[in-house]
Amino acid sequence: MSRNYFHLHLVSDSTGETLLAVSRAVAAQYEGISAIEHVYPLVRSKTQLERALGAIIAEPGIVLYTLVNDDLAAELVSACSQESIPVLSVLDPVVNLFRSYLGTETIDRPGAQHTVNADYFKRIDAMNYTLAHDDGQTGPDLDAADVILVGVSRTSKTPTAIYLANRGIKTANVPLIPGVPLPEALANVRNALVVGLVANPDRIVQIRQNRLLSLNADDDTSYVDRAAVAAEIAESRKLCTRKGWPVIDVTRRSIEETAAAIMELLRTHRLKFVDI
């Protein structure tokens, strides 16, 4: 199927991450249509805005912006309107709702969400912990994790752990390998939430075959044998059932969806400790 393309201009006084996330979430709903993204970050002066406007007028399309400076925002909207270019402030509806409910004005500080604060250092700490406890690197401080992911090879343990770490959640991951006993440290975990990740055997086989292909490795191995993979997954499910660990099937889930489910489990898990 042929694809149609359109120009998408994202003007931000910060990094532009918010605009990218919102626009991509919406664009994904349109099959066969792709956006040619033009990102203009850190637009905080008239000169910078004029430079962005020159590019927008040269290749018109949809314009989304996050500008807390009212003068710059008004100039962008005016220029786009004169050229009949659709333009929208992504944050204004949310800001107005907050203002109405909270009864107070915003501080109008560009990039305020990226200020270095306690949350920033929490994320850095979580990332350092997660990288040090990736792929079975347990150590004596495994129970210092917020979350421990267990699962057979190729169930997206590492990327999910990294995503959670970016949310400030210390995450370790332990591979379940046939014939290899669980790390002793995992048996002694008392505080961390342990979550099992599983997937459809056919999906696991496909991913593993691609992995071997990228390594130019021999694929005549039980690692990609469907019956053997199905047995691995069945055993991992039984293990989680015996241990009382929740299980998430990642077959049709994105990393973000898996992480969201884990974070909800973590909230419930922490409430149990509060009740105690």
Annotated binding site for ADP: 151-158
Q: Which residues are annotated as a binding site?
A: 151-158
Angle at CA of residue 81, ends 53 and 4, nearest 5°: 75
Q: Is the dihedral of CA 202, 205, 211, 215 positive or negative?
A: negative
Burial class (CB within 10 angstroms; exposed 0-12, middle 13-18, buried 19+) of 231: middle
Using the structure block, give the residue that is written with the tokens 């046939």.
178
Count of C-beta atoms within a 10 Å radius of residue 152: 23
Burial 49-79 (b: 16+ CB within 10 A, else e): beebbeebeeeebbbbbbbbbeebbebbbeb
Through-space distance between the first and last CA atoms of the chain, rounded to whole angstroms:
57
Cα dist from 149 to 186, 237, 245, 262, whole Å: 11, 13, 10, 10
